[in-house]
Structure 1
Amino acid sequence: MQGDSLPLVDEHATVVVAEADAVWRSLGETLDRSFSGARSARFAGLVGAADRVASGPRPLAEGSTFPGFRVVGALPGRELVLEGRHRFSVYSLVFRLDEAGPGRVRLRAETRAEFPGLAGGVYRALVIGTGGHVLLTRRLLGAVRRRCE
């Protein structure tokens, strides 16, 4: 997959007190609710994202899309790989579910991206440099955890 070759931006994790199947369902539902709205579609259009609408199978599976992302890999209960691109960046977001003890799952979100050119550098400064990406990623992981617990 393309995302494997992109530079690592960061990784965040949370432990969820639930079985992997429940965390997987919650992850898909949370991503869909977080990124399938009109605000995400407007932002995707503004930056020229390749994927601008929610489409494809639900629950999320290979070929599903929502604004800014396309599912390029899905191993239910284990790994979900999203990729995207727009005028300022090429990126991947990989969610991994690892056993963390009986009835507990460590949910990790790994971001990889390239920000080509001057415009990409400015975009990186705005999204990564301000801490906005960290805040959104942690909020997303927390939403998955709360939905399960």
Structure 2
Amino acid sequence: MASSLSKIAISTASIVILSQMKELRKRRRRTTWVNSFLKGRNYTQPLDDLGAYETELFRNFCRMSLSDFNILLGKIDEKVSRKDINYRESIPASVRLAQTLRFLATGDSHGSLNYLFRISKPSISKIIPEVCEAIVHALKDYVKMPEN
């Protein structure tokens, strides 16, 4: 008799727990797609601030001169550019390149780049490999890669 009562108690408790878990899932639904920190972003602000004042600041930030940056940007612009859509503007190719160069030069984490450029971590994790691939493809005539 005691075992049948304990089985009923366990099954009742599991039903209650499952119903509470469903209620928690319903309450946790997102109301927005973008974090409030990222909503008021200006993608080009870090680059505008650096480029407008001194080229030495830009060189220190990207580990590349502004003229070399523009040459490289011209070579990869078509591969890394995206079109704006109705509800979201795309991240410019110049910002994608600067972010990738900053990552390669300093080894900053995606979280650090998130705060610096105001771009989400998932976007950063897609942008960096994409831009690296475009750079390798654009500079394959200038840099000899090992064959084995």
TM-score normalised by the chain length of structure 1: 0.29
- Looking at CA atoms only, which structure, 1 or 2, has the larger radius of gyration? 2
Instruction: Pick the structure with more strand per residue.
Output: 1
Length-normalised TM-score, structure 2: 0.29
